[in-house]
Amino acid sequence: MTQQGRNVMIELSTSILDNGSQEESHMKHSGEFFQKGKLDVLRYVEQGEDGSSTKSLITIQPDKVSIKRTGNVTMNQQFQQGQITENMLKHPYGSMHMETSTQTISYQAPSEQSEGRLIIDYTVKLNGQDERSHEIKLTFTEEGAK
């Protein structure tokens, strides 16, 4: 995308439920937000503790969401409500087959009065192992707003 996006502050919370134990992570990133027709796009770079970086590109359409990551971790995870999608997750420790089953996608585009919000509930099976329940909560606000 060549046009300039709006600078946003992104807050990303993930929750994984695995055999009764829950893992949570929270991150904040500066990024860019673009809108083109019915397509909304968020872009940001995640810095690893080891100095590595991973670029993330999240595309949001009325019927699906895609999270594409390139760098230290590479994947192109697709979310379609009520569908099972597959991709490969590649990281420094090897590659894994990933099967994603999306239960719900909730998206509210940002407006002058409210932040943007994306919530995805889904399960993932890595290399055919037992599935784990995941939830992504992503909120973003234009930098300098409010």
Domain count, the chain: 1
- CB 55 within 8 Å of CB 69: yes
pLDDT of residue 19: 82
Return the CATH number at 10: 2.40.128.20
| Whether the Cβ atoms of residue 62 and residue 35 lie closer than 8 Å to each other | no
Amino acid 1: pLDDT: 40
Query: Could you read off the pLDDT of 8-44 as tens digits, one per residue?
Result: 999 999 999 988 889 999 999 999 999 998 999 999 9
| 21: in domain | yes
Q: Using alpha carbons only, how large is the chain's radius of gyration in Å? A: 15
Confidence at residue 47, expressed as pLDDT on a 0 to 100 scale:
85
Q: Which two tokens stand for residue 126?
A: 């890595």
* Confidence (pLDDT) at 2: 43
Quote the domain boundaries for residue 47: 6-142
- Say if residue 3's pLDDT is above 60: no
Instruction: Judge whether 1 lies within some domain.
Output: no
pLDDT of the residue at 123 = 96
Tokens of 88: 């490969």
- Whether 99 is covered by a domain: the verdict is yes
Q: Quote the CA–CA distance of 34 and 77 in Å, as a whole number.
A: 20
Confidence (pTM): 0.90
Q: Minimum mean pLDDT among 42-46, 50-54, 93-97, 105-109: which range? A: 50-54
**Chain centre to alpha carbon of residue 63:** 15
Span 81-108, average pLDDT = 94
The rounded mean pLDDT for the chain is 91
Residue 116, in any domain of the structure:
yes
What share of the chain in percent tops pLDDT 90? Answer: 72
